[in-house]
Chains A and B, each alone.
Chain A
Amino acid sequence: MLEETIRVILSVLPFLLDGLWQTFKISLIAIVIGSILGAVLGIARSFRIPGLTGLIGLYLHLFRGSPFLVQLYVFYFVLPELGIPLLQFDSFTAALVALSLYTASYVTEIVNGAILAVPRGQEEAARALGMTKLQAMRYIVLPQALKLTVPPMSGVYVVIIKGTSILSVIGITELTRQGEVAILRTPGSILLIYAVVAALYFLYCYPVLRFTDWAEKRIGGVKVKLEN
């Protein structure tokens, strides 16, 4: 029994590790693109430009108000229907675009929240010294806000890693998908393979989670609602 278990684990592990590597890559790409986009939108939102603030708010509501699975289906099935060549996504592009925009919706709120958490007097003092609005943001507000974003950002990182598992439904060969393929090969050990998959996710997420908890105690940080 034990020998059999070890044999199955050893035979599927190379594929699962390859899946973990894909999960790692996809989550990293999404978090980088999502963070850049989210930072831009979060800063833009804090300037309270009429019209733009409303648009960003609409984007946040749309992406926070619907499940990621629905968003993924919309990007994969609906957008290519529009007939615009740029939106003719293949599954990998659709997955990356959907996950990046989903990430950015969190980052936008975090960055915006961190900027709001910096005392107003800081900006006012900078303006009184003759700085422009942009200079005050660049040299005074952002450096102080940056530290506050660390705990919630690493929390979002965990959410995104876990979110990549949903990409398996449109056939991206990440960890969950590799697990499903491994089950097709050794149908007798469904539970065992999913347990190994869970262990691999745990291996990747747990250090980030511990860092989040540690950073929260150290820095405090902005209260932003996080999704599991």
Chain B
Amino acid sequence: MDFIASFYNFRVVADYLPVFAQGLWATIWISAVCLVLSLGFGVLLAGMRMSSNGLLWRPAAAYTQFIRATPLLIQIYLVYYGLPLLFGGVAFLDETMSGVVALTLHTTPYMAEIIRAGIESVNRGQHEAATALGMTRFQKMLLVILPQAFANVIPALLGQTAVLIKDTSLLSIIAVFELMSAGVMLMSERIMPNESFLTVAVCYLLIYAVMLVVSNVAQNRLGGAYRMR
């Protein structure tokens, strides 16, 4: 019993439970906001990449390659220090908002690649049938192609969402308060690494477990072409 108490003191963790809950909540809502934004921008970016106009697809491709070939941490720093400069040295966004911007910029190209694969997986006959029904290009995309495209790649999108949730941990480095920061706070106040970091790890694993269950349900219901694992 003494060994357990000296290895992992539940009382201290219980004291910090509100802090961890607050961090967990921040991780969840930051992920959710980034997910929605990156899906929206991802559709736009996928559209740009699939365009035959060089003025559209070249910048989209360059942006995608830049994001894929540089570390997220550096992208976070660039946004965190770069955004205020764009607005004349005024830091009008706090850390959390900078973090949301950086993570959205980072996740969008990955989402766009998945969405593009989804759009390309929709049968040509669907395009032709929609055209034959007299739909405009916009109607065709919104009502026929995109719903099927999303259904086909939901497992891959869920996988990327799991990655996004894990990536929020890097925001702790620019002092955004989320799950990881809660652990770092306990560490710096009490110097108890086990209680700090094992608790954080367990919280992330719980989120991961929920994501696995959701992904399994989605796969069974939709039977998409791509799988999370």
Residues of A near any B CB (own CB < 8 A): 61-62, 64-71, 73-74, 77-78, 81, 109, 158, 161-166, 168-169, 176, 179, 190-191, 194-195, 197-198, 201-202, 205-206, 209, 223, 225, 227-228
Closest 7 CB pairs of A and B: A65-B208, A77-B193, A165-B71, A67-B169, A205-B69, A162-B71, A67-B166
- The contact string, 1 if C-beta is below 8 Å from chain A, for chain B 191-229, is 001101110110011001100000000000000001111
Best-buried of A62, A165, A169 by chain B (most CB within 10 Å): A165
- What number of A-B contacts does a CB cutoff of 8 Å give? 120
- Assuming the contacts A66-B208, A69-B169, A194-B78, asked whether A201 and B197 have C-beta atoms less than 8 A apart, the reply is no
Tell me whether B110 is interfacial, beta carbon within 8 Å.
yes
Point out the residues of chain A lying under 8 angstroms from B156, CB to CB. 225
- Assuming the contacts A69-B169, A78-B193, asked whether A165 and B205 have C-beta atoms less than 8 A apart, the reply is no
Tell me whether B33 is interfacial, beta carbon within 8 Å.
no
DSSP class of A's interface residues: helix, strand, loop or mixed? Answer: helix
A225–B110 CA distance with the chains assembled, in angstroms: 12
Which of A78, A197, A228 is in CB contact (< 8 Å) with B68?
A: A228
A168–B72 CA distance with the chains assembled, in angstroms: 13
A179–B73 CA distance with the chains assembled, in angstroms: 12
- Assuming the contacts A70-B169, A70-B200, A197-B74, asked whether A61 and B208 have C-beta atoms less than 8 A apart, the reply is yes
Which of B66, B71, B204 is in CB contact (< 8 Å) with A67?
A: B204
Best-buried of A62, A71, A77, A223 by chain B (most CB within 10 Å): A77
Q: How far, in Å, is A180 (CB) from chain B's closest CB? A: 9
Evaluate contact between A81 and B205: CB separation under 8 angstroms.
no
Evaluate contact between B65 and A209: CB separation under 8 angstroms.
yes
Between-chain CB contacts (< 8 Å), 11 pairs: A67-B180, A70-B197, A70-B204, A73-B200, A162-B70, A194-B77, A201-B74, A202-B69, A223-B227, A225-B229, A228-B68
Tell me whether B82 is interfacial, beta carbon within 8 Å.
yes
Evaluate contact between A228 and B170: CB separation under 8 angstroms.
no
A168–B229 CA distance with the chains assembled, in angstroms: 30
Evaluate contact between A74 and B77: CB separation under 8 angstroms.
no
